[in-house]
Amino acid sequence: MAQTFPPPAKIPLRFTSDGTFRILMVSDIHSGVGYNREKTVAALDALLKAEHPDLVILGGDTAGPGVIHIENGAELRDMLDGLTAPMEEAGIPWCHVYGNHDDNYGLPNEEAEKIYESYPHCVSEAGPEEISGVGNYVLPVYSADGETLLLNIFALDSHAGMREWTERWGLDPSLRPLPPDVGSRGDYDTVNVDQVLWYYETSRRIEREAGRKIPAVLFTHIPLPEMHEAAKHRDEVGIRGIQWEDVACTSLNSGLFRACLERGDVCGIFFGHDHLNDFDLTYMGIRMAYDASLSYHACQINELRGGRVIDFRASDPAAFTTRTVKIRDIMGHAGDSVG
């Protein structure tokens, strides 16, 4: 490979010999001590066998909240030993972003990251220490022969809530933004400005190195305010799928969506967080989508439980296709929650 930036993932990612690359995204598993390992692992394994992804992305809130949660490294490793076994045994690369619940019970994401990255097929990266959050990174995907960069996968930490945000930046803790409108929730954080700048400059450097703009997709846990605004205009944005709850986003816009528009490389942004939404839409040329939830422990809905598949072709990676996949469609009622 002539190009040296971004560096290849721990396991180099490539399109297959038939010119395809498939991502499976699952999120909001909310596992931890006492979680239903058998059900969860069986559901994830069924998704892998049905969809044969080239990369699996855990889209945040892998752990917690409530009675089922993670408090220390030993508990996290025990949970991940079971949860990631389907990928590890099949030799499928996987990565993750953090959600707003992963570090709620005392294990910092900085410490959790070391455990995640210790798994042989985990291609996540801690990312730059000088910017906010843990797990801000980009994974390059090359042609089948490994010679040509075709696609970039950005991962960004969307943090937790406004209280943590004011603490991080030394702001007055009484500062609270007003909610976007009646019926939505605005006390969540989002990708911070320094992360937006990192994405922007990283994207520019990749273009300089490659001599051309490389199509990209971006994964983060908490949805952007633009998802909330776009969802109000169902016909104009071509909503597909289910919306059974309000978009739970921040009220303070850090400019990520506009940065993606101005750079012109990101063609898709994918979220977890909202358990009762699995819809996708296209706003200003960027596809945005949820993956619902794979949880058996937190706001679980048998009709929605599953993940999202994103398919790329080497001939035109920007023209990806995406769809949801349901556990019930694969496993029948055997994949439902008990009770």
Q: How far is CA 332 from the centre of its chain?
A: 26
Q: Give the domain CATH number at 101.
A: 3.60.21.10
- Examine residue 26 and state whether it is found in any structural domain, yes or no: yes
Note the helical H segments in the chain.
37-51, 73-83, 85-90, 109-117, 162-168, 193-210, 225-230, 234-237, 256-263, 327-331
Give the C-alpha separation, 195 to 283, whole Å.
22
The whole-chain average pLDDT of the chain stands at 94
- Examine residue 120 and state whether it is found in any structural domain, yes or no: yes
Identify which of 42-46, 63-67, 160-164 has the greatest average pLDDT. Answer: 42-46
- Examine residue 3 and state whether it is found in any structural domain, yes or no: no
Banded model confidence at residue 10, pLDDT cuts 50, 70, 90: very high
Q: What's the confidence (pLDDT) of residue 179?
A: 67
- Examine residue 5 and state whether it is found in any structural domain, yes or no: no
Q: Which amino acid is at 225?
A: P
Banded model confidence at residue 3, pLDDT cuts 50, 70, 90: confident
Please tell me whether residue 207 adopts helix, strand or coil conformation: helix
Banded model confidence at residue 65, pLDDT cuts 50, 70, 90: confident
Percentage above 90 pLDDT, the chain: 87
- Examine residue 253 and state whether it is found in any structural domain, yes or no: yes
Helix (H) or strand (E) holding 55: strand 55-58
- Examine residue 1 and state whether it is found in any structural domain, yes or no: no
pLDDT per residue over 247-284, tens digit each?
Answer: 999 888 999 999 999 999 999 999 999 999 999 999 99
User: Region 210-235: what's the mean pLDDT?
Assistant: 96
The answer to whether 305 touches 335, Cβ cutoff 8 Å, is yes
- Neighbouring C-beta atoms of residue 302, cutoff 10 Å: 13
Q: What's the confidence (pLDDT) of residue 4?
A: 83
Q: 3-state DSSP helix/strand/coil percent for the chain, to nearest 5?
A: 25, 20, 50
Q: Which residue range forms the structural domain that includes residue 143? A: 13-335
pLDDT per residue over 105-129, tens digit each?
Answer: 989 999 999 999 999 999 999 999 9
User: Region 1-18: what's the mean pLDDT?
Assistant: 90
The answer to whether 43 touches 309, Cβ cutoff 8 Å, is no
Helix (H) or strand (E) holding 267: strand 266-271
The answer to whether 205 touches 142, Cβ cutoff 8 Å, is no
- Examine residue 94 and state whether it is found in any structural domain, yes or no: yes
Give the C-alpha separation, 78 to 56, whole Å.
20
pTM reported for the whole predicted model: 0.96
pLDDT per residue over 71-85, tens digit each?
Answer: 999 999 999 999 999
- Examine residue 4 and state whether it is found in any structural domain, yes or no: no
The tally of domains found in the chain comes to 1
- Token pair, residue 263, equals 């750079």
Q: How far is CA 19 from the centre of its chain?
A: 24
